[in-house]
Structure 1
Amino acid sequence: MILAKISYYICSYFTSSNKQDGWVIVAVETASMLKNISSALPNSISVNFAPNRFYDFNYDYEVYPQKGLLKLINLIYSPILFGYLLSKYDKFMYLGAIGFVSPYTDGRHQEFKFLKSRNKQLVCYFLGSEIRSFNLLNKFSQDHSLDVLTTYQSISHAGIDASENEYKRKQLGETADRYANVIFNPSTDQMAYIKRKTSPCIYFLADDLFLPSLHKFDDLSEIIVLHGPSSPIIKGTPLVRAAVKKLKVEGYRFKYVELINVPHEKMLKELQNAHIVLNEFYAFVPGVFGLEAMANHCALLTSADENIETTLPCGANKAWCVTPYWNIYDNLKNLLDNPEQIKSQANAGFKWAKANYQYDQAVNKLNEIVND
């Protein structure tokens, strides 16, 4: 913080006549959110703190994890960069839990306190596990006799539910509560230590994703079912495989495609040909992959439910086939038994995704919230 303040006051002397009316978007790139939001907000710049092997984007500033001397250089560079950007820009949006100055030590308290003392605007946009409370969501799970994402996440990511990590999430929530002008966070799916009302998360789907592909339904002699989990255990992949196996044993003929750890471009190419997409089955929002599936005219099966996650846009439950984890076999079987329903379900999802998350629509939503 000493470095950050020295940098700020020195840079302010030189940048006082060169203020920029734009946003500083800070993140570790996740699901292309940093790229999309920095493109959506006018005159914004992007600061990325870690590379993502699934994407090949360029950012205005990159502060990547290093070792040895380079790590020391980054530890110095990061707060100096913070001070410089603070001297030029008045609006900051933080995606996830990252920060310029010791984000995991105090929940970004010192960083946000200094930022707000300079009369800057602050938006916190949470993305998932960095804010999702294991204690709160597991309590929800017990109260509703329902397996949720945190039920299995501690198995796939050992130590993620440790008490010190839960404390860090509490710090993040309390700091955002205290300093942020706006907080984006789905209130149930990412249940957190945030007391204020939060805004629903907004996703950005490029126009070229919405290329009509209804022609693939002209020939359903081989129905293609796609599942592309980023983390198989918490996405319900074992249950998906069990349902697929049972259907094949029963004589159903279809092509099952499972993609794990593949580049984003390959995933999008496979979606263009798929008829049915099995997404995730312990979450209450469709996620970026679910939205991309609908944009590519796929009939989506997922556990997302607007009756549980009330921040979802109106009509969500008609856009996909609401599929809790115990109904994967039944709902997939129903579509295979009634192939004429696949096209109509895919079309409903396409229209809903386009109305709510096509790039221009999402940009308007985001600007309306942050400008207010």
Structure 2
Amino acid sequence: MRILLVGEFSRLHNSLKEGLVALGHEVTLVGSGDDFKNFPVDLSIASKTVARSSGLKFIGKITNKLLGFTLDSLEKGRRFEKLLPRLKGYDVVQLINSDAIETLPNLEIGLYDRLFAQNDKIFLLICGDETPVVNELLKNKQRYSVMTPYFEDKKLEPYYRYTLKYTSEKYRGLYRFVSQNASGLLTSDLDYKLVLDEAGIDTTLIPNPVNTDKIPFEELSVDRPITIFYGANKFSSVKKGGKFFEKALEIVKAKYSDKIKVETVNSLPYSEYVEHLKKAHIVLDQVYAFDQGYNALEAMARGKVVFTGAESEFYSHYGLSEKVAINALPDVDFIVSELSRLIENPSEIHEIGKRARAFIEKEHDYKSIAQRYLDFWQKS
């Protein structure tokens, strides 16, 4: 099959591509690289002209404030348009989001209209903010979610501009156009599947693919200080509950100064983030989640103990009876208690790390997951 993957926000599409190629398929990935993360793509639509010009960046701030769009988003759309003649004849086109091109909604609909017309089946993967997800989360019916900080403090609204944009009429129209033209909708983890089930929207859950051939299991010695790593993100730390990790780290640093090393970084390119990740025993990922996102899964594949979403729904779905990750709760005392237990009982780090790796190999193997995508695409 010839497969076109549009958009990349977490390395999910890169790993899926690797699985599909290993199974003998031809795959092209087009996207922007997602800002500072700089994920690899085959065909880039990243803003270059605007990114290199301080003057255009300044004008972009003005257009964003007055007209609701930035010049770099417009440039992404125009760069995608120039690629359209090359993006034809694919058996499958999968968008990682209804806003996969990251441009103006009205322009995006026109680009999709042309893209869809010159290819076969279209699919939408829901693995992040999306109109029906945000609609349902705004009802505030979940035990907690990425919207919880917003409900607790409306002053945090600036951190939710990207999320809340999906409730505007333009983005509702964009999602409606894509979903109506799609042969099927997929989700990547329980955080989206459960919410969409509540909304009465039919989706198929296929877990994130992780390339364990590229990611070695790293059983680190605990003879040296236990390294705790927290990789913050300027765009999403508030939504992921970063404040609980930050406060907990202050306490454990004071409590175990002679036993641990704490490493905190902010908004690194993916390649640099991984280098820090490799040295860690314990990784702090996110609080407001029921299941693991892509960063957590890659850390688990390396044998790290990850504080992330691992709620009872997750253990039930996968039939797990032993911990493969620490379910991080929005509670500083709880996080401190769990960190303290691991620091004082380092053998648990090894045991949880081994189970984490085994879980990834069983449930997230990139070739097995790629085959599940192929089966879904072919039957839809």
TM over 0.5: same fold? Answer: yes
1:95 aligns with 2:96: yes
1:104 aligns with 2:105: yes
Distance of 1:85 and 1:185 partners within structure 2: 24
Write out per-residue CA displacement over residues 273-297 of structure 1, whole angstroms, 9 at most, x where no aligned residue.
3211121001222111111111111
CA contact (8 A) 2:135 2:167 kept: no
SS at match of 1:301: strand
1:268 aligns with 2:271: no
The change in CA–CA distance for 1:98 and 1:164 in structure 2 (over 3 A counts) is closer
Which residue does 2:352 correspond to in 1?
Answer: 345
Which residue does 2:231 correspond to in 1?
Answer: 228
Counterpart of 1:55 (choices 38, 43, 53) is 38
Distance of 2:321 and 2:168 partners within structure 1: 31
Counterpart of 2:340 (choices 316, 333, 339) is 333
CA contact (8 A) 2:324 2:352 kept: yes
Distance of 1:118 and 1:296 partners within structure 2: 41
Which residue does 2:6 correspond to in 1?
Answer: 26
CA contact (8 A) 1:131 1:172 kept: no
User: 1:207-226 to 2 correspondence within 5 Å?
Assistant: 207-214=212-219, 216-217=220-221, 219-226=222-229
Return the TM-score normalized by structure 2: 0.75
User: 1:86-165 to 2 correspondence within 5 Å?
Assistant: 86=88, 88-98=89-99, 104-105=105-106, 108=109, 120-131=120-131, 133-140=133-140, 143-144=141-142, 146-152=143-149, 154-155=156-157, 157-160=159-162, 162=164, 165=167
User: 1:248-263 to 2 correspondence within 5 Å?
Assistant: 248-251=253-256, 253-263=259-269
SS at match of 2:10: coil
Give the C-alpha shift of residue 347 in structure 1.
Answer: 0.7
Distance of 1:127 and 1:168 partners within structure 2: 20
Give the C-alpha shift of residue 117 in structure 1.
Answer: 6.6
Distance of 1:164 and 1:294 partners within structure 2: 31
The change in CA–CA distance for 1:335 and 1:132 in structure 2 (over 3 A counts) is farther
Counterpart of 1:182 (choices 184, 194, 207) is 184
SS at match of 1:256: strand
Write out per-residue CA displacement over residues 121-173 of structure 1, whole angstroms, 9 at most, x where no aligned residue.
11111231244643421323xx35x4421223654525345577444554455
Distance of 2:262 and 2:132 partners within structure 1: 32
SS at match of 1:325: coil
SS at match of 1:224: strand
Distance of 2:17 and 2:274 partners within structure 1: 22
Residue type of the partner of 2:38?
Y
CA contact (8 A) 1:291 1:353 kept: yes
Write out per-residue CA displacement over residues 233-292 of structure 1, whole angstroms, 9 at most, x where no aligned residue.
222222112112223344563111112122323332333332111210012221111111
Give the C-alpha shift of residue 83 in structure 1.
Answer: 5.7
Which residue does 1:200 correspond to in 2?
Answer: 205
SS at match of 1:300: strand
Write out per-residue CA displacement over residues 163-205 of structure 1, whole angstroms, 9 at most, x where no aligned residue.
7744455445544443322212257623459643212243232
Distance of 1:250 and 1:358 partners within structure 2: 39
SS at match of 1:207: coil
Write out per-residue CA displacement over residues 212-253 of structure 1, whole angstroms, 9 at most, x where no aligned residue.
322x23x34521111112232222222112112223344563
Which residue does 1:17 correspond to in 2?
Answer: none
Which residue does 1:360 correspond to in 2?
Answer: 367
- Where relative contact order (Cα < 8 A, 6+ residues apart) is larger, the structure is 2
- 5+ long unaligned stretches in structure 1: 1-20
Give the C-alpha shift of residue 75 in structure 1.
Answer: 5.5
Which residue does 2:303 correspond to in 1?
Answer: 297
- 5+ long unaligned stretches in structure 2: 51-55, 57-70, 151-155
Return the TM-score normalized by structure 1: 0.77
The change in CA–CA distance for 1:209 and 1:35 in structure 2 (over 3 A counts) is closer
Counterpart of 1:237 (choices 238, 242, 259) is 242
Give the C-alpha shift of residue 94 in structure 1.
Answer: 1.0
